[in-house]
Amino acid sequence: MFRNLSILMVILLTLSLTACSRNRDAAIKQANTEENPGSTPDVPVVEIERNQFDFPYSLWEQVNRKGENLFLSPFSIDAAMAMAYTGAAGRTAEEMGKVMGYEATPDQEHFAFRKKISMLNDIPKRGRAQLNIANALFNAETNKDILIPEYTKTLQESFDSDLYSLDFNQAKETADFINQWVEKKTHERIKNIISERQIEDSSDGMVLVNSIYFKSDWMSRFEEFNTRKDTFYTSSERNEKQSKPMLMMKQTGTFGYGETGDCKVLEMPFAESELAMIFVLPQDIEATCAALDNDVWQGWLKSLSRPREVEVIIPRFRLEHTLDKLVDTFRVLGIRDAFDGGSADFSGIMKTGITQNLYISDIVHKAFLEVIEQGTEAAAATQVGFAKTSFNPPNPDIPVFRADQPFLCMIVHKVSNETLFMAKVVDPADAD
């Protein structure tokens, strides 16, 4: 049977209204709201994105914790922040642009996102993978007369966003509606991303959501008779006291493979050849994570040789991860005004006047990843339960990629150079 990879990502960004006054940069506001999102700047998507390569690693550095799993989508977080940035002005826009790497003009950024989302949404049409990207704006219905039309037009045209107007005074019903939208988009894998209390605290604000659902078979299958229980070490020191039994999948196939420094690097393509998972197996997971930046990432990619025969052993696993303190994280990175009710300038989103202001009050990111057998889990578990020995000794003539200790993995879209997902796998759970 095929081994199947399922990935779900959701990021929720809440913009709240606060009763206060502030100074606005009228000139920047006018420039921001008069941008024409329908134009097509003559700037390649990849060239625009070169300025954004540092953000995933800056974020990674802040949210990584020693000895813990980590799973996030730089793309998903970037998309949600970009939707907010579209309506930012003045110093708020400057801070967001600097941290996120938005160095092109707003019009060029919108074009880049529109083209990128279009490329990614074309993938499921070919029938080899499910990759569903969804964006939505959930707005308090009391804001409908002050919401700036150019902003919602940009969300629809550049981010393919759904638009909803809800009664935020009915906090439970509004939270239920948003949660049901997320459940539907993630095939019921991610639930309860927003609470009734968060709706109440938003004071008739709005909620921006980006979700990604990804599911695909490997191009080269793992056969179930090769899966068996073996030891997985939850520390790079490979201490027996920090180990546990896990189901490990095995195959010998032709893959991109390389070695650089103290890391082994493996590229496994999915059935949709534009997508691949890059595995990185370091001798010391924490030292590697501490040094991770775009230069290190590019070095790993350059180390990949032409496809060659490799023996691959990876766990059958599941990860779930929540990042619910991202406001604090972005403050450390340098975005401050956007989270301050007295300083935030989102005048490109709505006309709040001098008695109210819109600011970002919450950013929540939830993720789910699972590598599973489709339809044969019980049979595989029974067969594995009777295995009494470890894997046979490897063939000395071919390299072995044996991920039985902490490793990294990334899902990449090779055409756009987009890193869709990044994971640090230290203590994985058994797949369902």
| Tens digit of pLDDT at every position of the chain (432 positions) | 333 454 455 777 777 866 544 443 333 333 333 334 344 444 443 444 444 568 999 999 999 999 999 999 898 899 899 999 999 999 999 999 999 998 877 778 888 888 888 999 999 999 888 888 899 999 999 888 889 999 999 999 999 999 999 999 999 999 999 999 998 988 888 888 889 998 888 878 899 999 888 888 888 888 888 999 999 999 999 999 999 999 999 999 999 999 998 999 999 999 889 999 999 999 999 999 999 999 999 999 999 978 999 999 999 998 888 998 899 999 999 999 999 988 999 999 988 765 478 899 999 898 888 765 432 221 111 112 222 234 455 566 799 999 999 999 999 999 888 899 999 999 999 887
Helices 90-100 and 26-33, packing angle to 10 deg: 60
- The class level of CATH for 3-216+319-369 reads alpha beta
| Tokens found for residue 327 | 């406001």
Burial of 126 (0-12, 13-18, 19+ CB in 10 A): exposed
d(CA 27, CA 282): 51
pTM score, whole prediction = 0.85
What's the longest Cα–Cα distance across the chain?
Answer: 73
- Where exactly are the structural domains of the chain? 3-216+319-369, 223-315+391-430
| Tokens found for residue 305 | 């040789």
d(CA 421, CA 398): 29
pLDDT score for 19: 52
Q: CB neighbours of 50 closer than 8 A, spacing ≥ 6?
A: none
Residue corresponding to tokens 């953000």:
55
pLDDT score for 33: 36
Contact 325, 331 (CB under 8 A): no
Q: How far is CA 137 from the centre of its chain?
A: 19
> CATH topology for 223-315+391-430?
Alpha-1-antitrypsin; domain 1 (2.30.39)
d(CA 102, CA 49): 8
Residue corresponding to tokens 């080269």:
220
pLDDT score for 367: 86
Q: CB neighbours of 298 closer than 8 A, spacing ≥ 6?
A: none
Q: Work out the number of other CB atoms within 10 angstroms of the CB of residue 47.
A: 11
**Ramachandran angles phi, psi of 235, nearest 5°:** -140, 145
Residue corresponding to tokens 């290190």:
296
Q: CB neighbours of 382 closer than 8 A, spacing ≥ 6?
A: none
- Pairing mode, strands 228-233 and 275-282: unpaired
* DSSP H or E stretch at residue 383: helix 377-385
| Tokens found for residue 320 | 């779930």
Contact 106, 158 (CB under 8 A): no
